[in-house]
């Protein structure tokens, strides 16, 4: 027996996913059906279950109908509030009007209100008050609004500032009052110009409800959080009604005036009301047997139907998963192009479709990262190769420059000596790769050596300006960032010029960023050339360190949001801005 069970478990574990799902769902449905039939057999033996099934339907239909009618009354209230004729009359009443004008406006308002009363059969009367408290009435004058209720309504209108508010009268009453503050829409100033009260006859609404009459229908009762404010059959069927504290939806057997009643209640979001249906306990016993057999037949039919269509449904779920698993195996082998075969556009917006799209996006991103990393590795190799080239026999060059410097000093050639010393300092820093990131102060030291040489070349044609605050000197910058930018300005601005050329080096810092800017008054850069420089197609002459190379070094070291910005100035010239993060006390 144990071997048999072990064999069954092994076969099940090796079955495909759709087979496992089909087996599990079938077993679950069989167990569920058995439990449901047992529960129904027990449930239908009780009176309250049958009554609840019917009374819930009645109460749900009743509450929906009542709220739909009240929402229509709210629309009428809103239409009155924005009615141009009523707005105009109320605004005119705010001014100084004579007795005849008051009479004319009163007739106009009551005529307009009468039209609204006639359009809705459940409206008992409409009260309109202008800003001075004058009352205008349309509809029936029987059972008018009391002074206490009127004060509460006035207060509620101000409190809800233009929103509709349903006011329930203390005690059980057949009327419900809609209250709204009227505001002026002229020039959108929203001044208060009046208050509107619409009395609704709930008895008429409830009288038109389906299946609410007679013994089966019971008594429709509506309560708020603290009290009952409406009863279809008056108060004689309510008794103490001390069970209104119940919340949500449910039912129970309650004794009212010594008799057993089935009490069903439903809470809705409409004004936080609770609807009650109070039905005599024995009202629907005769229909229990018919409903019982109907439910058994229905569940049997559903069971057969679901079993017949379940396998096809499962295949529609598992087939895409199998296709995705096959694609994952291809990607595992390194075939990233396999994701192109996934028909993502044809997948629905469900979990499987989301899995397809996310997997394809992930693989494409991995492919992009691999290519990007390969490009960065090539750049690193190229930089290392150039560094090796630059370090060929540096000591021989230094010794040669020292000899030239000694001869210059011996022959009292101070200019030659200064140029040689500056050149030696510049070369020593250029080919020293022990430090990739240095302070701005050290970078300016390299710049100063370069400027010493250029000052001898362009003494009368160069106006160099430098505005570097002392606060930025200790921030960090990639080595040999500024000297190539200055060399670019000398090559394209100073050398071709016949007049005095101006080059300005400045720095500005914010809380998070450091901006170092090199400007010249040269001829500027052709827009196409500027595009080529940004793409790294055009390489500058001189050091061989291109603008694109500097930009890439900054992005690799600090992030894609940093680097160079190149622009043509509005008047004449070019500006290159280095954007770096603030580096205080060390590398971030």
**What pLDDT shows up at residue 588?**
45
Mean pLDDT value of segment 518-526: 86
pLDDT of 386 higher than 70: no
Mean pLDDT, residues 106-121 taken together: 87
Last residue of a domain, one of 173, 190, 206: 206
- Residue 392: the pLDDT is 45
Residue 457 backbone zone (phi > 0: left; psi -120 to 50: alpha; other: beta) = alpha
Rounded to whole angstroms, the Cα distance separating 272 from 15 reads 53
**Whats the size of the chain, residue-wise?**
588
Domain-embedded: residue 416: no
Asked if residue 433 has pLDDT above 60, the reply is no
| Banded model confidence at residue 184, pLDDT cuts 50, 70, 90 | confident
DSSP 8-state symbol, 249: E
Give me the torsion for CA of 265, 267, 209, 198, rounded to 10°.
140
- What is the C-alpha separation between 450 and 480, in angstroms, rounded? 11
Helix axes 482-489, 440-457, angle to 10 degrees: 20
The reported pLDDT for the residue numbered 541 is 47
Residue 203 banded pLDDT, cuts 50, 70, 90: confident
93 and 199: one domain? yes
Q: pLDDT band at residue 238, thresholds of 50, 70 and 90?
A: low
Task: Give every CB contact of residue 30 below 8 A, 6+ residues apart in sequence.
Answer: 303
Number of H helices, E strands in the chain: 16, 17
What mean pLDDT value characterizes the chain?
77
Residue among 134, 131, 90, 123 at smallest CA distance from 109: 90
Q: Is residue 37 part of a domain?
A: no
What's the pLDDT at 544? 41
Q: Is residue 468 part of a domain?
A: yes
CA-based max dimension of the chain: 132
Collapsing DSSP states into helix, strand and coil, what is residue 291? helix
Whether this model's pTM surpasses 0.75: no
Q: Is the pLDDT of residue 35 over 90?
A: no
Q: Would the pLDDT of 161 be above 90?
A: no
**Each residue of 303-330: pLDDT tens digit?**
777 767 766 776 677 777 777 777 777 7
Q: What is the CATH number of the domain that holds 564?
A: 3.30.565.10
Domain residues for the domain of 491 are 459-581
Q: Which pairs count as long-range contacts for 234-239, CB under 8 Å and 24+ apart, including other chains?
A: 234/172, 235/172, 237/278, 238/172
Q: Which two tokens stand for residue 81?
A: 């509030």
Best-predicted range by mean pLDDT (419-428, 430-439, 531-540): 430-439
pLDDT in tens, 536-579: 566 544 444 567 788 888 888 888 899 999 888 876 889 999 99
Select from 581, 426, 444 the least CA-distant residue to 506: 444
Whether residue 547 lies inside any domain: the answer is yes
In a domain, 242, yes or no: no
**Helical axes 47-82 vs 288-332, angle rounded to 10°:** 70
Domain boundary among 371, 387, 403: 387
Burial of 521 (0-12, 13-18, 19+ CB in 10 A): buried
Q: Which two tokens stand for residue 229?
A: 């404010």
Contact of 562 with 578, CB cutoff 8 Å: no
DSSP string, 403-463: HHHHHHHHTT-HHHHHHHHHHHHHHHHHS--S-SEEEHHHHHHHHHHHHHHHHHHSTTTEE
- Determine the Cα–Cα distance for residues 368 and 425; give it in Å rounded to an integer: 42
Q: What is d(CA 183, CA 90) in angstroms, rounded to the nearest whole number?
A: 10
Mean pLDDT for the stretch of residues 125-132? 89
Inter-residue long-range contacts of 26-32, CB under 8 Å, 24+ positions, other chains counted: 26/307, 26/310, 29/303, 29/306, 29/307, 29/310, 30/303
The answer to whether 229 touches 171, Cβ cutoff 8 Å, is: yes
Average pLDDT of 276-300?
A: 68
Are residues 181 and 97 both part of a single domain? yes
Mind giving me the DSSP string for 357-391?
HHHHHHHHHHHHHHHHHHHHHHHHHHHHHHHHHHT
Count structural domains, the chain: 3
DSSP state of 168: P
41 pLDDT tier (thresholds 50, 70, 90): low
Tokens, residue 461: 């044609």
Instruction: Tell me which of 179, 206, 233 is where a domain ends.
Output: 206
Least confident of 14-18, 54-58, 249-253, 283-287: 283-287
* Separation of alpha carbons 535 and 480, rounded Å: 20
Minimum mean pLDDT range among 18-22, 463-467, 508-512: 18-22
- Let me know if residue 474 belongs to a domain: yes
Q: What is the dihedral of CA 530, 535, 538, 544, to 10 degrees?
A: 120
Among 574, 579, 491, CA closest to 530: 574
Is 116 within a domain?
A: yes
Do 468 and 374 lie in a common domain?
no
| pLDDT band for position 216 (cuts 50, 70, 90) | low
How are beta strands 462-467 and 501-509 bridged, if at all?
parallel
For residue 223, which of 214, 215, 232, 211 has the smallest C-alpha distance?
232
d(CA 483, CA 549): 13
Task: Give 328-344 pLDDT, tens digit per residue.
Answer: 777 777 776 777 777 66
Nearest-angstrom CA–CA distance, 454 and 426: 12
Do 467 and 382 lie in a common domain? no
Based on the fold, state whether residues 202 and 92 are members of the same structural domain. Answer: yes
Coil, helix or strand at residue 189? coil
Provide the H-helix boundaries in 14-98: 17-43, 47-82, 84-93
In 154-240, which ranges are E strands?
165-167, 175-183, 192-201, 219-223, 228-231
Query: Which whole number is the average pLDDT over 445-453?
Result: 84
Mean pLDDT calculated for residue range 220-229: 81
- Rounded Cα distance between 241 and 223, Å, is 11
Q: Does 252 score more than 70 pLDDT?
A: yes
What is the per-residue pLDDT for 396? Answer: 47
Locus of tokens 């038109």: 208
CATH number, domain with residue 180: 3.30.450.20
- Contact of 203 with 262, CB cutoff 8 Å: no
pLDDT of residue 504 exceeding 90: yes
Rounded average pLDDT over 241-252? 70
* H/E element, 581: strand 574-581
Contact 489, 504 (CB under 8 A): no
Q: Is 212 among the domain residues?
A: no
The count of other CB atoms within 10 Å of the CB of residue 32 is 13
The answer to whether 26 and 304 are in contact (CB under 8 A) is no
* pLDDT value at residue 507: 95
């Amino acid at each position: 027996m144990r071997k048999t069970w072990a064999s069954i478990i092994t076969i099940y574990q090796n079955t495909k996913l759709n087979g496992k799902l089909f087996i599990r769902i079938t077993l679950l449905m069989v167990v569920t059906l058995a439990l449901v039939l047992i529960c129904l057999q027990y449930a239908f033996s009780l009176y309250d279950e049958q009554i609840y099934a019917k009374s819930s339907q009645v109460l749900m239909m009743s509450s929906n109908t009542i709220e739909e009618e009240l929402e229509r009354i709210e629309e009428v209230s809103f239409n009155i509030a924005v009615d141009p004729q009523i707005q105009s009359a109320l605004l005119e009443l705010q001014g100084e009007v004579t007795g005849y004008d008051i009479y004319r406006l009163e007739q106009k308002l009551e005529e307009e209100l009468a039209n609204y009363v006639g359009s809705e059969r459940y409206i008992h009367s409409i009260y309109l008050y202008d800003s001075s408290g004058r009352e205008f009435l349309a509809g029936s004058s029987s059972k008018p609004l009391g002074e206490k209720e009127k004060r509460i309504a006035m207060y509620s209108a101000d409190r809800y500032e233009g929103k509709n508010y349903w006011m329930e009268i203390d005690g059980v009453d057949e009327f419900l009052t809609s209250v709204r503050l009227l505001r002026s829409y002229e020039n959108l100033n929203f001044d208060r110009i009046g208050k509107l009260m619409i009395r609704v006859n709930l008895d008429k609404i409830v009288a038109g409800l389906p299946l609410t009459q007679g013994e089966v229908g019971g008594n429709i009762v509506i309560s708020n959080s603290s009290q009952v404010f409406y009863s279809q059959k008056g108060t004689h069927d309510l008794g103490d009604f001390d069970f209104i504290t119940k919340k949500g939806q449910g039912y129970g057997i309650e004794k009212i005036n010594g008799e057993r009643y089935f009490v069903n209640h439903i809470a809705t979001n409409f004004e936080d009301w609770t609807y009650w249906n109070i039905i005599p306990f024995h009202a629907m016993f005769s229909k229990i047997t018919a409903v019982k057999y109907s439910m058994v037949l229905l569940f049997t039919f559903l069971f057969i139907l679901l079993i017949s269509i379940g396998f096809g449904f499962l295949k529609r779920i598992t087939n895409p998963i199998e296709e995705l698993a096959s694609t994952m195996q291809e990607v595992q082998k390194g075939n990233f192009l396999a994701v192109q075969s996934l028909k993502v556009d044809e997948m629905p917006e469900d979990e499987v479709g989301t899995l397809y799209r996310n997997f394809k996006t992930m693989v494409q991103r991995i492919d992009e990262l691999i290519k990007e990393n390969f490009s960065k590795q090539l750049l690193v190799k190229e930089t290392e190769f150039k560094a090796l080239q630059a370090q060929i026999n540096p000591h021989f060059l230094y010794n040669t420059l020292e000899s030239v410097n000694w001869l210059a000093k011996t022959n009292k050639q101070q200019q030659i000596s200064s140029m040689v010393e500056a050149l030696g300092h510049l070369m020593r820093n250029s080919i020293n790769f022990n430090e990739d990131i240095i302070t701005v102060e050290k970078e300016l030291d390299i710049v100063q050596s370069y400027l010493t040489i250029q000052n001898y070349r362009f003494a009368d044609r160069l106006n160099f300006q430098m505005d570097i605050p002392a606060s930025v000197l200790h921030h960090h910058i990639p080595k040999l960032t500024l000297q190539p930018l200055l060399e670019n300005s000398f090559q394209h601005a100073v050398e071709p010029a016949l007049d005095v050329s101006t080059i300005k080096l400045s720095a500005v810092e914010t809380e998070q960023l450091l901006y170092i800017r090199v400007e010249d008054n040269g001829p500027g850069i052709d827009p196409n050339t500027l595009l080529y420089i940004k793409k790294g197609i055009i390489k500058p002459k001189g050091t061989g360190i291109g603008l694109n190379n500097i930009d890439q070094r900054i992005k690799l070291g600090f992030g894609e949001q940093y680097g160079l910005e190149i622009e043509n100035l509005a008047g004449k010239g070019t500006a290159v801005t280095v954007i770096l993060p603030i580096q205080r006390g060390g590398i971030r």
